[in-house]
Structure 1
């Protein structure tokens, strides 16, 4: 990690678990698929603003919002009531606040949130008080919230909207943008510019899957993305035969609920939209981890290794509820991420002007950094980086701590 040495578990423990594992699972977005993230944020912002203007009656000047990467970053929290963007540390202590264009100093943060600065009622999930900007898909929503609150306070929204109303409208725009493949502009825009949206890591993906098969691993996909988008993405990255790479294909899983013990959501056949049992190499959606584990009939939960990028939905819940061996894919460990955009490195510096490092908050781990260190058994910047480690392991049988 960039500022302090990682406290993640020794690598030799992970590789011991790797040898005894039978299944290796993968999230899709920001795990299998790598994005040109600046372009992704610009596109999602355009989709949100278009919905707000066309469907919710916002003024047309909202369409002119030009995404600014320093305003909102992955890991921010939106304080809905106060209209602030926040960053919190491992103790849930607020260390940075942005309202409109104003960056709060320490005394202003204390005045706004109390002397102890501890964020009440936050456990890592979005709730009625806070929206978690957990992925790059949501950064545009955080940016729009910031700009719309500022516009409202300056009298630019008529009729004037409360912060809660702005938030509710933005949530509607997210649901409209991502929930149904046949509606909105996001999916058509991606399909028309696949090389501009995705970082082509096809060669590495195919080689990684071959090496896993060489070690007799069964491979599954477990993602929250809907079938149309999964098919679009993997057809581009792996080819029209992409389903052959996976023994199980589980989509729209609604993580983190998928992992929680109380979930009894049945698996649904994507084609018929009817309840069904698990099937090999067949696209299913919804479901729950209890039925998955029963189908796999494993002696121990840690016979599964799971790769994912989301600290809560992929890592903490998989570890807490079913004790899977977890691999965090933390793109921020590799700050340039093979971006094509010439100004991406500039956007990184802009973000750090306000928010600093994703994994740290001043001199402490950020909330997300602490989650990843506590609940992930292995950390990597990308599957391409992990491929290098796997090749070394298969060749030499060991890696240094």
Structure 2
């Protein structure tokens, strides 16, 4: 059994900005039989690569087609990729904890304690917050504001123009679009916050309700709102390290003791598919979570032999910096980071913390004997797992659950939380107030839906859909002539 405990690093509040890094760490204990099995498997794969691939690398598929079997190394994200959460339940849990913290710690209005379901229509991935004005924006790939609210109240076209000009463009959005990074590189205080995944989307509702509450006071709407730092601290509080160890704080005890409420177990078909991938090529599990939490949920999703599905395991990867920076790999000493691992001592069957893509790629070169190995990363976070690695020369597969939520052409797959992920006010995740005369992927006009279109080979609602097919199955990839949405385009693009 693995020993596990969670740790979270939370930065100090500084100059009106607050940054939190969720860092969950574990000490994985493998018995000797498991260790020998993993090493034997890696050595067989290494022998195959050294004696076959080194002499002649298989030809790569055309740019408009995609096959998993083309790659010499495939990395997988854990949260919302290998581990599929029941996002409706996890978001309700997160909202309740944030709201309770804000009311009980900071004295915010009790209206925040109303159920998330009362404002479930407000939720959508990819919203941007104008922190000082308390406005939420949905933008196009060019930065144009498509729709907006002040708190939860819709802003009409005249309101948007009055605040942001007749072009409906806010300059910080233009800067943000280059990297989808909330924090300015010049060190200035952030004025914008994005809501990129199901772990921070509920905070948008808390912020919006708090803006509404302030507007309803005798003083009325404020010139500037100083609410977001409190919301951010409340999010940080959910992930404090000591809460996991002490069964406090709400979030970790819930997920730890009631995983069936919040997490899906992988199907046998997906397990067979992952094993087929691992037998064919080198695989890496690269997660921002620490080893204890990662090991805990991976064990629930894949079973006690979860470690055998991957060659190398990298926790606390701190993406997107993992792909762009040169942080060293570190050994794990129990749940904590240990000494720096010299690059020449990295092992393809190792378990490490931190690290960077360049050193991992050098390791893959050594193991395969290839000067330019084909590498792929699969993940759901459109900034950290899709846009950033693609800009660093790594092919990507985007996990986009909104495909199943909104429906796909030619496939009846449904999302269990589809109603939670569809918004009447914000409109489709893929196309909002769009040109109805345009059909297909050219109709996509939202900032976040354009990311997989530009920066991934294919986009799927979950790994379960690709597990229907052999790893050598050929998919249409995103290109000028073809769509990479699989198993089908979003329905809204065709009516």
Q: Same fold (TM over 0.5)?
A: yes
The residue aligned with 2:251 is 186
CA RMSD of aligned residues (A): 2.7
The within-5 A match list for 1:110-259 is 110-121=161-172, 122-123=176-177, 124-127=180-183, 128-155=190-217, 165-178=226-239, 180=241, 181-182=244-245, 184-214=249-279, 216-259=280-323
Kindly provide the CA deviation profile for residues 164-188 of structure 1, in whole angstroms up to 9, marking residues without a partner as x.
5321111112222135243521111
Aligned length: 377
Report the alpha carbon displacement of residue 119 of structure 1 after superposing the two structures with TM: 2.8
Aligned-partner Cα distance in 2 for 1:161–1:200? 47
Bigger mean CA deviation after superposition, 203-212 or 60-69: 60-69
The residue aligned with 1:276 is 340
The residue aligned with 2:327 is 264
The residue aligned with 1:3 is none
Report the alpha carbon displacement of residue 399 of structure 1 after superposing the two structures with TM: 4.6
In structure 2, relative to structure 1, the CA distance for the partners of 1:346 and 1:245 (3 Å cut) is closer
For residue 128 of structure 2, the aligned residue among 61, 77, 97 is 77
For residue 320 of structure 1, the aligned residue among 384, 391, 405 is 391
For residue 309 of structure 1, the aligned residue among 380, 401, 404 is 380
Aligned-partner Cα distance in 2 for 1:43–1:301? 45
Report the alpha carbon displacement of residue 59 of structure 1 after superposing the two structures with TM: 5.0
Aligned-partner Cα distance in 1 for 2:371–2:395? 11
Aligned-partner Cα distance in 1 for 2:295–2:223? 39
Aligned-partner Cα distance in 2 for 1:208–1:11? 24
Asked whether the equivalents of residues 76 and 285 of structure 2 are also in contact (C-alpha less than 8 Å), the reply is: yes
Report the alpha carbon displacement of residue 11 of structure 1 after superposing the two structures with TM: 7.3
The residue aligned with 1:347 is 420
For residue 356 of structure 1, the aligned residue among 412, 427, 448 is 427
Report the alpha carbon displacement of residue 111 of structure 1 after superposing the two structures with TM: 1.0
What secondary structure, in the 3-state scheme, does the structure 2 residue paired with 1:357 have? coil
Asked whether the equivalents of residues 139 and 147 of structure 2 are also in contact (C-alpha less than 8 Å), the reply is: yes
Aligned-partner Cα distance in 2 for 1:170–1:156? 23
| Unaligned stretches of 5+ residues in structure 1 | 1-8
| Unaligned stretches of 5+ residues in structure 2 | 1-60, 184-189, 407-412, 435-443, 477-481, 483-495
Asked whether the equivalents of residues 187 and 229 of structure 1 are also in contact (C-alpha less than 8 Å), the reply is: no
Bigger mean CA deviation after superposition, 23-32 or 175-184: 175-184
Asked whether the equivalents of residues 177 and 185 of structure 1 are also in contact (C-alpha less than 8 Å), the reply is: yes
Q: Which has the larger radius of gyration?
A: 2
Asked whether the equivalents of residues 95 and 206 of structure 2 are also in contact (C-alpha less than 8 Å), the reply is: yes
The within-5 A match list for 1:9-24 is 13-15=65-67, 18-24=68-74
Asked whether the equivalents of residues 250 and 285 of structure 1 are also in contact (C-alpha less than 8 Å), the reply is: yes
For residue 359 of structure 2, the aligned residue among 286, 291, 313 is 291
Report the alpha carbon displacement of residue 137 of structure 1 after superposing the two structures with TM: 0.8
Aligned-partner Cα distance in 2 for 1:269–1:176? 25
What secondary structure, in the 3-state scheme, does the structure 2 residue paired with 1:92 have? coil
TM-score (norm 1): 0.85
Kindly provide the CA deviation profile for residues 233-254 of structure 1, in whole angstroms up to 9, marking residues without a partner as x.
1111111221121111111211
The residue aligned with 2:440 is none
